[in-house]
Amino acid sequence: MKRFLLTLTAALGLTAILAPGTASAQTLNMDMSWGIRNQMMYQQQGDANARAVAAAYYNYMLRLRRMGYTGPSLPTGVTTQSLQAANQRLQQAYDAYNHSSMINSQRTSNAVNDWTMRAIRGCYPVIDAYGHRTYVCQ
């Protein structure tokens, strides 16, 4: 009995000492502060560029007025149509990116499913009567 208690105590002690403090399946927290910092930095750069362009236009018009120009303000090139066209191109870029991401995800899913069906389940691909690719398992 004494030997059994000694063995049990030693086993429990070793388990407590050698057991890891955290489970190995846990993941680390994702630090996304870099993305937030970059987004704020890009916003500041865009704001600074817009202010610089506006200031340059204002100073140019001020200089023209001081030289005696009394006509209307010169066109800036920014119109409703140019803004709508820029927004439309941006939307098209977003749509193209999302579409390519969807296609890439679908390809990955198809490859994983094909490997699962062939390697793990032992199935083989066939074409059914309707022309669809399917698997036959034994």
Task: Render pLDDT for 52-71 as a digit per residue (tens, 0 to 9).
Answer: 999 999 999 999 999 999 98
DSSP secondary-structure letter at 131?
S
Say what the pLDDT of residue 71 is. Answer: 87
Angle at 26 between CA 25 and CA 31, to 5 degrees: 140
> Longest C-alpha distance within the chain, in Å?
111
Say what the pLDDT of residue 31 is. Answer: 85
Counting beta carbons within 10 angstroms of the beta carbon of residue 108, is it exposed (0 to 12), middle (13 to 18) or buried (19 or more)?
exposed
What is the tens place of the pLDDT at every residue in 62-118?
A: 999 999 999 888 888 888 999 999 999 999 999 999 999 999 999 999 999 999 999
Domain ranges of the chain: 44-76, 79-138
Distance in angstroms (rounded) separating the CA atoms of residues 135 and 127: 8
